[in-house]
Amino acid sequence: MITREKITLGFCAAASLAAFLFYTIGLSGGPANYSVAVERDITTLVIKAKESLDKAELTDREERVLELAVRQSLRDPLRSKPVQFSGDDPTPELLLPSYIGFIDTGSEPIAIIDGLDYRVGELISGGEFEVSRIAADHVRLLRLGATDTFEVLIEKPQVP
């Protein structure tokens, strides 16, 4: 090994030792002070955010969203049993959409429900029913969260 290589290796060893002492033993003093400063900044930020939320007034829309967020819902995405209603009437009034037309496209029939077209598996506007079967004279709808389907007959046009 020549002298130049020995000097280069000596500098590398010294730099490695200095880096080891600096980062592992804590000679820098930087990271400890930095974490305390960050913790103080975060605490201050949280306090300021809480104060500004306490002072803020909610808009009508935000109040409605918060009200709906805490209201009990009949639909539970994790429910595996049919919907059970509590009350005097075991079968409450259910507003079914109106089935007004049928289009036979060959491979996949299309149902016209409340003026919009739907295929099997699509959710009906409003998100409460899913189309489970389409026939020329009726459609079968599945209410979300339930296992029983509803049959809706096609509405015949009134001839004067």
Provide the domain limits for residue 28.
3-55
What 8-state DSSP symbol labels residue 61? H
In a domain, 35, yes or no: yes
Side-by-side strand order, sheet with 138-143? 129-134, 138-143, 149-153
What integer pLDDT is reported at residue 77 of this predicted model?
Answer: 52
What integer pLDDT is reported at residue 85 of this predicted model?
Answer: 53
Contacts of 154 (CB under 8 A, 6+ apart): 99, 100, 101, 102, 136, 137, 138, 139
C-beta of residue 99 within 8 angstroms of C-beta of residue 152: yes
Q: Which residues pair with 101 in a beta bridge?
A: 112
In a domain, 36, yes or no: yes
In a domain, 73, yes or no: no
In a domain, 89, yes or no: no
In a domain, 27, yes or no: yes
In a domain, 77, yes or no: no
**Token pair for residue 61?**
């829309």
- 160 residues of the chain, pLDDT tens digit each: 788 888 998 989 999 888 887 777 765 555 555 555 666 777 777 777 777 777 777 777 777 776 766 665 555 555 555 555 555 554 555 677 888 888 887 788 999 988 888 999 888 877 788 999 999 899 999 888 788 888 888 887 766 6
Count of structural domains within the chain: 2
What integer pLDDT is reported at residue 84 of this predicted model?
Answer: 56
